[in-house]
Chain A
Amino acid sequence: GQQVMQIPQYQHVQEGEDFTTYCNSSTTLSNIQWYKQRPGGHPVFLIQLVKSGEVKKQKRLTFQFGEAKKNSSLHITATQTTDVGTYFCAGGNTDKLIFGTGTRLQVFP
């Protein structure tokens, strides 16, 4: 069946360093979404990308959707302690949204 893999599983960074998480699908996606889950919280929607090669920015966060619509990345510039949490991608096809396994980000002050 369709799978959405996410790497790395964990990432520890020093505050101020950059961070990137990658999402790869075994099949072409109609859209990709990104969610953030703070420790002890629930996933919260961040953004959706739909077009091939699309790039969107939210302050220090940059989201990309690959040309083939099979992969995506989330890059955080100059991490802050408020960025701590688990980041999930979710790939959509015709009738399903499949969540990646998540990348847990820890930021040390």
Chain B
Amino acid sequence: DVKVTQSSRYLVKRTGEKVFLECVQDMDHENMFWYRQDPGLGLRLIYFSYDVKMKEKGDIPEGYSVSREKKERFSLILESASTNQTSMYLCASSLLLVAEQYFGPGTRLTVT
């Protein structure tokens, strides 16, 4: 079974803090993704990576950066958290860019 894990289910941070969200997959997938999910807005792609050290901006990359130093691990970084980044963050991985995606359980981030 494919497993995608995320470092925290819930996180509370203060405005201006640097925040790291970690995602690990165990299926040797080339592609990994970070989404944020907000009510009524569906899943919005922040960044994705198609290989180690490779990254591409998604639809809403502003205020975020990513790191992929190892194939199984994809990190999302909020350089200076703001209240409008309070959201559910979902990581996913897939074998091909348009193939089935496997999602992690999500991290609910609250920025106060």
B105 touches A99 (CB 8 A): no
B42 contacts A88, CB within 8 Å? yes
- Asked whether B98 lies within 8 Å of A102 as measured between CB atoms, the reply is no
Is the pair B98, A93 in contact by a Cβ cutoff of 8 Å? yes
- B66 part of interface (Cβ distance < 8 Å): no
B42, A101: Cβ atoms under 8 Å?
yes
Also in contact, A43 and B42, with CB within 8 A (given A33-B100, A48-B100, A96-B98): no
Question: Chain B 51-75 against A: per-residue CB contact (8 Å), 1 yes, 0 no?
Answer: 0000000010000000000000000
- CB-CB nearest in chain A for B48: A96
Q: Are A45 and B42 in contact (CB under 8 A)?
A: no
Q: Which residue of B lies closest to A101 (CB)?
A: B42
Contact of A100 among B42, B94, B100 (CB under 8 A): B42
In the complex, B103 has a CB within 8 A of chain A = yes
When distances are taken between beta carbons in the complex, the residues of chain A under 8 Å from B103 are 42-44
Interface residues of B (CB under 8 A from A): 35, 40-43, 45, 59, 90, 92, 94, 97-98, 100-106
